[in-house]
Amino acid sequence: FCTFIRISVWRYWAYFFYFVGCALLLAVIFFGEVGGGAQRWLNLGFLRIQPSELMKIGIILALSRMLSANNKIKEISPITPNRNPNKSTE
């Protein structure tokens, strides 16, 4: 399913997913239910969700957008034995 969505759509919604995930994690503090000995579930009446699982996707999308927008990332060149600046070339 996710492969049919254009990358530009994921890039556009990346920060939205991240901030919604943060809001859901904060909601767990106040409205969360205990499940398995820990308070980590949100009960929406018809559905129980674990916001940490949604946040995993949000973090991946937000970090990938941030890193792809950073123009300071240089292309990694292969390391060769002749590229050592401490050795003198004769």
User: Is residue 90 predicted with pLDDT exceeding 60?
Assistant: no
Mean pLDDT rounded to a whole number for the chain: 81
Residue 19 pLDDT grade (very low, low, confident, very high; cuts 50, 70, 90): very high
Please tell me the predicted confidence (pLDDT) of residue 56: 94
Distance of CA 84 to the CA centre of its chain: 36
CA distances from 28 to 6, 52, 60, 87 (A): 32, 10, 21, 58
Q: What is the mean pLDDT of residues 60-76?
A: 76
- 0.85 exceeded by the pTM? no
